[in-house]
């Protein structure tokens, strides 16, 4: 497995159809087996009324298959995942940030 326990990940669930929900997950890898990973963290979902990603406050544990349905970004170890927010820029760019100088540009993902 390419991921290690304790690593921080940003997982994008791919949309296969235009009406599919846009969901992302940011969390810590708790364990893995084959292409299955158990992560604990936060769900971000697109609020269609505001057209921006919103974090669901409840901390959750998810078991995710790392097949063709997801894109996984490994985050630096210094990132504060409990402080992650999305910044929607006027030009359409979307940045994931923890409020420090670090950010992840996911505009084209």
Q: Is 104 helix (H, G, I), strand (E, B) or coil?
A: strand
Query: What is the tens place of the pLDDT at every residue in 49-83?
Result: 888 899 999 999 999 999 889 999 999 999 999 99
Q: Is 90 helix (H, G, I), strand (E, B) or coil?
A: coil
- Residue 109, pLDDT score: 67
Which pTM was predicted? 0.90
Q: What is the distance between the alpha carbons of residues 25 and 11, in angstroms, rounded to a whole number?
A: 5
pLDDT at 24 over 80: yes
Dihedral of the CA atoms 14, 49, 74, 80 (nearest 10)? -160
Residue ranges of domains in the chain: 8-77
Q: What is the distance between the alpha carbons of residues 100 and 21, in angstroms, rounded to a whole number?
A: 29
Q: Which residues of 6-40 are buried (b: 16+ CB within 10 A; e: fewer)?
A: ebbbbbbbeeeeeeeeebbbbbbbeebeeeebbbe
Please count the CA atoms within 13 angstroms of the CA of 12 that sit on its side-chain side. Answer: 16
Rg (CA), the chain: 14
Q: Kindly indicate the confidence band of residue 1, based on its pLDDT and cuts at 50, 70 and 90.
A: low
Average pLDDT over residues 27-52: 93
């Amino acid at each position: 497995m390419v991921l290690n326990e304790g690593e921080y990940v940003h997982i994008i669930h791919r949309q296969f159809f235009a009406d599919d929900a846009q969901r992302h997950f940011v969390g810590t890898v708790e364990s893995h087996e084959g292409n299955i990973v158990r992560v604990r963290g936060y769900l971000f979902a697109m609020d269609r009324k505001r057209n921006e990603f919103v974090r669901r406050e409840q901390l959750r544990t998810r078991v995710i298959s790392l097949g063709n349905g997801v894109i996984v970004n490994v985050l630096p170890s210094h990132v504060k995942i409990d402080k992650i927010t999305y910044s929607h820029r006027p030009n359409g760019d979307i940045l994931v940030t923890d409020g420090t100088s670090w950010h992840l540009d996911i505009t084209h993902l």
